[in-house]
Amino acid sequence: MHLRRTRRTRLAVTAALTGAVLALSACSGGSSSEGQGPAGGSEPTTITVFNGSTGTIAENWNPHSPTLLRPARGILYEPLFYYNITAPAGTEPEPILGTDWSWNEDGTELTITTREGVTWSDGEPFTAADVAFSLNLPNEHPELNASGFDGTAEATSDNTVVVRFPETSFVQEASVLGDNPILPEHVWSELDPVTTINPDPVVTGPYTVAEFSPQSYVLAANPNYWGGAPAVDRVRYIALAGADAASAALLAGDVDWMSSFFPGLQQLMASNPELSWVNSPAFSTTFHTCANADLGCTGPQTDVAVRQAIYHGIDRTQLNQLAFADLGAMPSPALLMPERDADWIADDIELAPANADVARARSILEGAGWTMGGDGIYTRDGQRLTLNVQVVSGYSDFISAIEAMTQQLREVGIELTSSQLSYNEWAANETNGTFQLSMDSIGPGPSTDPYFVYARKYATSTTAPVGQSASSNNQVRYSNPVVDQEAIEAAAQMDDDAVKAEQYAIIQREIARDMSYIPIIIGSTLTEFNNSRVTGWPTQDDLYAFPASWKSWDNGIVLKNLQPAGQ
């Protein structure tokens, strides 16, 4: 029995997001095999996945690293419970390495029952001690503490863990249970969890690493998986040049799973009966800005007036038509999903404007001392209002949006340039603060409670000076004592949604003014499947997991659901 679960009827349980950074782009794989696997006496069933990798693939199986390979979270390493962000409010999470949990009455102790009969891929038994070790890592290594976790975990038996908090902490439930990779203590106690790339992962998940090269890697079904060996024997991940190459590979039958936008999607898919697709919007596409000069950020974007001018100078209706196939929606400066999270958004926080307001954008800049130059670009103190935005090479929808915004913002008096980078270089720049603007996206946290978005993206404790790693997700270097003390910390100690909403309204007013993340659009995550080799993919009517090929935690749920075609 789960004590106090009735309090969570408003919370749609969801999976975590480190790395949501790929919301509108995706990747795909190359070759496939036929047959029904060794059990049927024929060739192994193999599928190919493109999950966003462009260029050279750098090996990194550390599930805490900002440059991890996505299968590390959900396919190799597992959480205690799986939270589906597409599920209706009140849906219970799916047991994975945990089987039960309960709170004490004042919310200071969380007791977790762990699954019995699980072994690590090296044959060692999985125990509650591994769970306690994994949950305690964020306290021992603050760089890993993306959620503000302040508990201490103790294994009180082979299958029981008690997490103790200094104050009421019901709000941390979904983060503890659904957003922590459980690691083998006998291996990771000898590793630096911040810097290791973990080249020989020892895991509990449904797959293990079989092959790796800078162009592709292969995962093999774990024959000793506690849930039974998955039906798909091998999963091959490949790097491609970008969305155009991915769509060509999909249409040629060389990729089985990818999440990518490409023009004419509906018509192309309709003419290929073996292909299917789903649309699952859940991410705010944003300009991340290195906003805090006090922490070492440099450039015009450190001026809040510049960030506000960009916000008002974007024509989102035009962007939606030109770059996102008219499938997007207007975002909220509260950085929440306007429809799903309407009850959490303060009444005085309006949606981002659908059309550009050039006059307002210019007025904001001029009020901050910027002067229009002879070439139509503002200047101040000898500094020209020129900004560079970084984007991952091959993300065609993002790149198209930047091209459109370059023209839109020139009407305001802002010059926008862009740099197309490899994913690893782009991610490293965000983590270290060596960027001005970065085209990125923000997804929901491990529950629909806004605490997880705000604690990750805005808390001072989750950032660092430029040049140091801010891998805990506050990569814009935001720091505001009102948000920290009067809102995030206060909300973390509350079990009353109405009172928490008052604290979140404080946050929303502060961040809507400061605009360290500039909301561009609610992006549609389009995911495509080939049904000729395997079946069981998510559908629009059955989103048993968030379907994107790059989505942490969900990716393992999808692979476990697949069956060879014809079975």
pLDDT exceeds 80 at position 64 = yes
Confidence band (pLDDT; 50, 70, 90) for 472? Answer: low
| Burial track 21-47 (b if 16+ CB lie within 10 A, e otherwise) | bbbbbbbbbbebbeebbeeeeeebbbb
CA–CA dist 319, 306 (Å, integer): 20
Mean pLDDT for the stretch of residues 243-254:
87
How far is the CA of 227 from the CAs of 80, 161, 209, 536, in angstroms?
A: 14, 22, 18, 17
How far is the CA of 448 from the CAs of 90, 278, 566, in angstroms?
A: 10, 22, 38
Question: How high is the pLDDT of residue 3?
Answer: 41
pTM over 0.85: no
The first and second tokens of residue 316, run together, are: 């989102």
Nearest to 447, CA basis, from 16, 2, 53: 16
Mean pLDDT for the stretch of residues 517-539:
93
Amino acid in the structure at residue 369 = G
Confidence band (pLDDT; 50, 70, 90) for 282? Answer: confident
Question: How high is the pLDDT of residue 263?
Answer: 67
Confidence band (pLDDT; 50, 70, 90) for 280? Answer: confident
The first and second tokens of residue 403, run together, are: 């091209």
Q: How many CB atoms lie within 10 A of CB 540?
A: 11
Question: Where along the chain do its domains lie?
Answer: 283-523
CA–CA dist 365, 379 (Å, integer): 10
Mean pLDDT for the stretch of residues 452-456:
87
Helix (H, G, I), strand (E, B) or coil at 166: coil
pLDDT digits (tens, 9 = 90+) for 216-233: 999 999 999 999 999 999
Question: How high is the pLDDT of residue 339?
Answer: 82
pLDDT digits (tens, 9 = 90+) for 336-391: 988 888 889 999 999 999 999 999 999 999 999 999 999 999 999 999 999 999 99
CA–CA dist 101, 198 (Å, integer): 30
Tell me which DSSP letter residue 21 carries.
G
Contacts of 307 (CB under 8 A, 6+ apart): 289, 291, 301, 514, 515, 516, 518
CA–CA dist 453, 462 (Å, integer): 12
pLDDT exceeds 70 at position 2 = no
Contacts of 543 (CB under 8 A, 6+ apart): 84, 86, 87, 278, 280
Contacts of 219 (CB under 8 A, 6+ apart): 71, 75, 76, 207, 208, 209, 210, 234, 235, 236, 237
Question: How high is the pLDDT of residue 42?
Answer: 64
Which is higher by pLDDT, 447 or 523?
523
Q: Are 102 and 161 in contact (CB under 8 A)?
A: no
Question: How high is the pLDDT of residue 8?
Answer: 30
Mean pLDDT of all residues in the chain?
88
Q: How many CB atoms lie within 10 A of CB 89?
A: 14
Tell me the CATH number for domain 283-523: 3.10.105.10
Q: Are 201 and 76 in contact (CB under 8 A)?
A: yes
Half-sphere exposure of 254 (CA within 13 A, CB side): 14
Helix (H, G, I), strand (E, B) or coil at 257: strand
* Helical packing angle, 358-367 and 396-412, nearest 10°: 70
pLDDT exceeds 60 at position 78 = yes
Mean pLDDT for the stretch of residues 464-475:
88
Q: How many CB atoms lie within 10 A of CB 299?
A: 19
The first and second tokens of residue 237, run together, are: 């991940």
